[in-house]
């Protein structure tokens, strides 16, 4: 009886239909698809950071089958205001519109957006504020790149076999 109580939840879990996204490891469908994605150059400093973050996560290997086109919108807006009308807090927002293009026929397979934002304290030292803005951009590039790669992985898992 005790064994039945222990095995019953395992049987229910097996019947739920969940399967790992990266099933099969490096030889699985998702991992193999992600290695065939090339990242098109993206303009600007934020583009350079995003390109590197995406390439780190995709690890291209062999002949590319897909191209990832990304357009970024990077903004900094003042939020908090002190009594002397100087800004005390900023919000940095990084948005990406991306398209996964099949290189065989030029069709767009995914057309979506990703984005995130970060708060930055504006302090007396201009150097410290600039350093905080740059750190926020680096962090946001990684977060947005993770969102994009997650969406690509879901597409790779759900796409029809070719």
Q: What is the DSSP string of 75-100?
A: EEEEEEE-TTS-EEEEEEEEEEEEEE
Quick one: tokens of 73?
Answer: 């919108």
Per-residue pLDDT reduced to its tens digit, 137-158: 999 999 999 999 999 999 988 8
Domain annotation for the chain: domains and CATH numbers: 20-158 (3.30.160.150)
Q: Residue 29: what pLDDT?
A: 76
Per-residue pLDDT reduced to its tens digit, 38-64: 999 999 999 999 999 999 999 878 889
Integer Cα distance of 63 and 1 in angstroms: 56
Integer Cα distance of 115 and 71 in angstroms: 11
Arithmetic mean of pLDDT, 56-78: 92
Kind plus residue range of the DSSP H or E element containing 33: helix 29-34
Predicted structure pTM score:
0.81
DSSP structural state of residue 107: -
Kind plus residue range of the DSSP H or E element containing 101: strand 87-102
């Amino acid at each position: 009886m005790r064994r039945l109580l222990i095995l019953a939840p395992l049987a229910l879990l097996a019947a739920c239909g969940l399967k790992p996204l990266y099933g099969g490891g490096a030889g699985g469908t998702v991992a193999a698809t992600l290695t065939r994605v090339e990242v098109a150059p993206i303009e600007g400093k934020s583009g350079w950071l995003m390109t590197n973050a995406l390439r780190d996560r995709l690890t291209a290997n062999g002949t590319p089958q897909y191209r990832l086109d990304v357009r970024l919108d990077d903004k900094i807006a003042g939020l908090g205001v002190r009594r002397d009308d100087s800004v005390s807090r900023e919000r940095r927002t990084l948005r990406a519109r991306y398209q996964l293009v099949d290189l065989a026929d030029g069709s767009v397979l995914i057309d979506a957006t990703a984005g995130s934002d970060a708060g930055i304290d504006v302090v007396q030292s201009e150097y410290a504020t600039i350093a905080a803005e740059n750190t926020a951009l680096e962090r946001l590039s990684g977060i947005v790149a993770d969102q994009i790669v997650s969406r690509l992985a879901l597409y790779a898992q759900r796409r029809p076999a070719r």
